[in-house]
Amino acid sequence: MVEVGVSDIAIYVPPFYLSHEELAKARGVPKEKYIIGLGNQKMAVIPNWEDAVTMAANAAMQVLEKTGTDPEEIQQLVVSTESGVDHSKAVASFVQGLLKIGTRCRVYEVKHACYGGTAGLVDSIDRISRNGKTTRKGLVIMTDIAKYGFGNAGESTQGAGAVALLVEKNPRLCSVDTSLNGVFSKDVFDFWRPTGHRVPIVDGKFSIECYLMALEGAVSEFRSNLGLEQGKLLDYMDYIIYHMPFTNMARKAHRRLIEIEREGKDLETQEEIYNQTFSDKVAPGLMGVREVGNIYTGSVYMGLISLLENEREKTEGKRIGIFSYGSGCGAEFLLYNMQTKISDIIDSLHFKEQLDKRKEITFEQYTQFYSKSSEEVFYYPDEASSFKNRYTKFVFTGFKDHKRQYI
Ligand code: CAA
């Protein structure tokens, strides 16, 4: 059977961040709550001249350029977001235009909170597996701006960013056998954003419960699809990346996995196994969430990029478990079988470099950026073009005849 999966991957993060120390000071909260309690250190802040479209195009452009892919070769373009810019026109269509992707391409947007990108990825892998002669390359992009509103409990988990993945046969990075995937979904109200609301409504503690319930369900089906007995899954996977709305959610998720996988062991033994497996299998993927915050759809894939940059060639030939969760709720557990000889892909990620290049902003600047919607801010193309750089190739310049303008 021909393998299908991900050939290359790239991330884009906005050029500004606010430190959690500053946020804590402004909110009158002990900084330890954010830094130790949630595990976060910095949150990405997106300026008004960027949006879900520009971040998606900026991530995808890196993939096209570094793989030498002609945009005309892309026959499936999926963009997943819960930060859409139009009720009808897909973010994917804006991206198609910016990247100059041809007309013989299936282009669509997916929404299922943070899970949507995984649904688009699985669909793209399956489509290329089935119709490999007519669809050879797919581009799947996850792009989001997590905003909860000033003073909301979720504010300290905000972030923004986009991840793009190139899907094809004989993938250079990792293959995915989607028949093994474990899925879970249920109609719940844990986090939602009614039409017209600028920020979501969140039942924070309940959302964590829903996440853990979905993890249990997806893991159980995945293990059974693999034909493994309960207790054997932990050793089967070399690394695990959980959806990370905040850093310590990965700790809560991993603890739950240990409880399931080591059921019957005394608490002390479970704690030992948790500590060791967390530092070996989970911690190498945490850099992104700690530095950027929640990027919703792209969160788990930012974890993959963090892992690759930290562990480098150690990931070659390894099995990586991926848990994707979206509120509402839908979840899927997948296995990435890593290829060998991936050094050049890792070298081209430049994630740490992007993080280092960012500028720290003050709490007042953050408040200015986030108190206006993009509809209220207009830039002149000349002014906006000065915001471009090596990673920021596309910027938003305002509206003309109700049409969003990008350069
Ligand atoms: N020093 C050290 N730790 C401290 C502390 C201090 N001074 N003060 C508090 N803490 C700890 C708490 O003990 C707690 O840790 P545990 O969870 O391990 O007990 C942690 O800091 C957070 O404290 P609280 O629970 O009191 O924080 P909160 O009430 O402000 O809410 C939250 C936390 C529910 C995560 C909130 O940030 C939120 O609503 N976030 C958005 C929703 C979310 O991320 N849900 C996750 C699952 S849903 C999902 O995954 C989809 C998605 O992307 C949104």
pLDDT beyond 80 at 378: no
Q: Provide the b/e sequence for 325-364 (b: ≥16 CB within 10 Å).
A: bbbbbbbbbbbbebbeebeebbeebbbeebbeebeebeee
Region 244-254: what's the mean pLDDT?
Answer: 98
Residue with the bigger pLDDT between 2 and 252: it is: 252
Q: What is the pLDDT of residues 29-68, one digit of tens each?
A: 999 999 999 999 999 999 999 999 999 999 999 999 999 9
What share of the chain has pLDDT > 70, as a percent? 99
Pocket residues: Cβ below 6 A from ligand 1: 30, 32-33, 36-38, 114, 153-154, 157, 190-191, 202, 204-205, 207-208, 211, 243, 245-246, 249, 294, 296, 325, 327
Spacing, Cα 64 to ligand 1 middle (Å): 38
pLDDT reported for residue 1:
74
pLDDT beyond 80 at 250: yes
Name which residue sits closest to atom 11 of ligand 1, judged by CA.
Answer: 37
Spacing, Cα 33 to ligand 1 middle (Å): 8
Residue with the bigger pLDDT between 375 and 244: it is: 244
- Could you give the angle at which helices 204-226 and 247-261 cross, rounded to 10 degrees? 50
* C-alpha atoms less than 13 angstroms from C-alpha of 369 in its C-beta half-sphere: 21
Q: Provide the b/e sequence for 212-227 (b: ≥16 CB within 10 Å).
A: bbbbebbbbbbbebee
Question: Would you place residue 265 in the very low, low, confident or very high pLDDT band (cuts 50, 70, 90)?
Answer: confident
Asked if residues 99 and 394 have their Cβ atoms less than 8 Å apart, the reply is no
pLDDT reported for residue 132:
76
Name which residue sits closest to atom 34 of ligand 1, judged by CA.
Answer: 204
pLDDT reported for residue 277:
97
Spacing, Cα 154 to ligand 1 middle (Å): 8
pLDDT beyond 70 at 143: yes
Which fold is adopted by the domain 4-406? Answer: Peroxisomal Thiolase; Chain A, domain 1 (3.40.47)
Contacts of 140 by beta carbon, 8 Å cutoff, 6+ apart: 78, 80, 117, 120, 121, 124, 164, 165, 167
What share of the chain has pLDDT > 90, as a percent? 92
Domain boundaries, the chain: 4-406
* C-alpha atoms less than 13 angstroms from C-alpha of 50 in its C-beta half-sphere: 30
Name which residue sits closest to atom 15 of ligand 1, judged by CA.
Answer: 37
How many Cβ atoms from other residues are within 10 Å of residue 152's Cβ? 16
First to last CA, the chain: 43
Question: Would you place residue 292 in the very low, low, confident or very high pLDDT band (cuts 50, 70, 90)?
Answer: very high
pLDDT beyond 80 at 377: no
Q: What is the pLDDT of residues 183-207, one digit of tens each?
A: 999 999 999 999 999 999 999 999 9
Asked if residues 361 and 45 have their Cβ atoms less than 8 Å apart, the reply is yes
Name which residue sits closest to atom 53 of ligand 1, judged by CA.
Answer: 245
Region 390-394: what's the mean pLDDT?
Answer: 96
pLDDT beyond 80 at 123: yes
Mean pLDDT of the chain: 96
Name which residue sits closest to atom 23 of ligand 1, judged by CA.
Answer: 37
pLDDT reported for residue 135:
79
Question: Would you place residue 7 in the very low, low, confident or very high pLDDT band (cuts 50, 70, 90)?
Answer: very high
Q: Which atom of ligand 1 is nearest to the CA of 327?
A: 51
Nearest-10 Cα torsion for 278, 283, 285, 287: 160
Q: What is the pLDDT of residues 11-29, one digit of tens each?
A: 999 999 999 999 999 999 9
Asked if residues 325 and 244 have their Cβ atoms less than 8 Å apart, the reply is no
Q: What is the pLDDT of residues 347-372, one digit of tens each?
A: 999 999 999 999 999 999 999 999 98
Spacing, Cα 373 to ligand 1 middle (Å): 27
Q: Which atom of ligand 1 is nearest to the CA of 208?
A: 47
Q: Which residues belong to the active site?
A: 82, 114, 243
Q: Which atom of ligand 1 is nearest to the CA of 32?
A: 1
Spacing, Cα 16 to ligand 1 middle (Å): 24
Q: Ligand 1, residues 43, 155, 157, 332: which to mutate, most atoms within 8 A of Cβ?
A: 157
Q: Which atom of ligand 1 is nearest to the CA of 29?
A: 7
Name which residue sits closest to atom 25 of ligand 1, judged by CA.
Answer: 205
Stated pTM of the model: 0.97
Region 305-315: what's the mean pLDDT?
Answer: 98
Question: Would you place residue 379 in the very low, low, confident or very high pLDDT band (cuts 50, 70, 90)?
Answer: low
